[in-house]
Chain A
Amino acid sequence: MNKAHRPPACLAYKVRQLWRLFATGMAFCIFGIGAVLLALTLFPLLMVVLQNRAKRRNAAQFVICRGFRLFCFILDITGVASVQIEGREKLLAAKGKLIIANHPTLLDVVIILAQMDRCQCVVKHQLFRNPFMAGVVRAAGFIRNDDNPEKLVADAARHLREGDCVMIFPEGTRTASGEKLGPLQRGVANIAITAPADLIPVIVHCNHDTLKKGTPWYRIPPSKIRYNVRVGSTISATGGIDSSDVRARRARALTAVIKHYFCDRLRHDHA
């Protein structure tokens, strides 16, 4: 570090670092408080104004996407994190598609939904009991990942057939530190085949190892977090797979296609 020989730069670095630590903490607070405020104000209001459950759910999903967009803007202007996205128009135009992404960090879902107007999600069941997030995930009618597996697949498939996009991480959880891609669950393939619905892959790359599984929020990286998010071309749920085959084998074949797709694109990634 030749910067150590230049005290002014060093001081500037320390000030910046301290600011980013403060801003990161603030961001976590804003996220939690924002979620609770929505759950206490706007979402109950939706209950009164919109009698139709589907409309209410859609409105809540729209608010969430815009909220995430605002949050990403705050992260950017405070110097915590910035997002560069390629192929966003594919997400905006998507209808009835499964949105799948690798899951390196805590913010992946926030960043991806921020690019969209509305999206259904499969979320981890703990969020339904999380005091900050429960109101939000319930209002949006998000799908619990601990549901009866048959029901989970059927519900997600129904939303897809109705034209909603459904966001899901095939790894089921964040990628372990030091790995490019965790083992893939076959739920995604089962949903895609059942609907049937094609998949839009999103490749998330983050320049820092921060916000990974098991890293506390205050361990901030030495520079601004930079996300590079690439939206890929549609993967067919049925392409090249014998449709007369049994479900278990088709799900395995499609999962292999998905795995190959992500491994191929993450291989040259040096995070």
Chain B
Amino acid sequence: MTVTTLQSRQDVYQQLHNYLVDLFEVPSEAISPDARLMEDLDLDSIDAVDLIVKFQEKVGKKIPAMEFKSVRTVDDVVEKIHALVNT
């Protein structure tokens, strides 16, 4: 497993962007910081679980699913992951 640091918010955003396009077939142009995961990007709750698992593998840290209960937009995810990586 390659553990990347994902130091900056920009790194996290880019990684999330890649996941959304590669794993969830989200059209690249639909992704913006304000885009809502469920309504705008057509993710569902099972996708959310998969996304968390992917980030866990990436950062090599356990991400508590509870942390993601309040997540609505792309920016919310970036915020959470960035905070978790830098603690």
Interface residues of A (CB under 8 A from B): 149-150, 153, 185-187, 190, 246-249, 251-252
Q: Please, which residues of chain A bring their CB within 8 A of the CB of B83?
A: none
Per DSSP, are chain B's interface residues mostly helix, strand or loop, or mixed?
A: helix
Say whether B25 contacts A252, CB under 8 Å: yes
Shortest Cβ distance from residue A225 to the other chain B in the assembled complex, whole angstroms: 34
Measured CA separation A155–B58 after assembly (Å):
29
Shortest Cβ distance from residue B67 to the other chain A in the assembled complex, whole angstroms: 16
Say whether A190 contacts B25, CB under 8 Å: no
Which residue of B25, B45, B49 is within 8 Å of A249 (Cβ)? B25
Q: Please, which residues of chain B bring their CB within 8 A of the CB of A251?
A: 46
Interface residues of B in 32-87 (CB under 8 A from A): 44-47, 49-50
Shortest Cβ distance from residue A20 to the other chain B in the assembled complex, whole angstroms: 41
5 pairs of A and B residues whose beta carbons are closest in the complex = A149-B45, A248-B23, A149-B46, A248-B24, A248-B50
Q: Please, which residues of chain A bring their CB within 8 A of the CB of B47?
A: 186, 248
Say whether B25 contacts A149, CB under 8 Å: no
Q: Please, which residues of chain A bring their CB within 8 A of the CB of B45?
A: 149
Say whether A246 contacts B46, CB under 8 Å: no
Shortest Cβ distance from residue A241 to the other chain B in the assembled complex, whole angstroms: 13
Say whether B49 contacts A246, CB under 8 Å: no
Measured CA separation A251–B45 after assembly (Å):
13
Which residue on chain A has the smallest CB distance to residue B50? Answer: A248
Say whether B49 contacts A185, CB under 8 Å: no
Which residue on chain B has the smallest CB distance to residue A251? Answer: B46
Q: Please, which residues of chain A bring their CB within 8 A of the CB of B49?
A: 149-150
Known A149-B44, A246-B23; further 5 A-B contacts with Cβ < 8 A: A149-B49, A153-B46, A248-B24, A248-B46, A248-B47
Q: Please, which residues of chain A bring their CB within 8 A of the CB of B46?
A: 149-150, 153, 186-187, 190, 247-248, 251
Known A-B contacts A248-B24, A249-B25, A252-B25; A186 and B50 likewise in contact (beta carbons under 8 Å): no
Q: Please, which residues of chain B bring their CB within 8 A of the CB of A252?
A: 24-25
Measured CA separation A251–B49 after assembly (Å):
14
Q: Please, which residues of chain A bring their CB within 8 A of the CB of B24?
A: 248-249, 252
Q: Please, which residues of chain B bring their CB within 8 A of the CB of A153?
A: 46
Measured CA separation A187–B44 after assembly (Å):
9
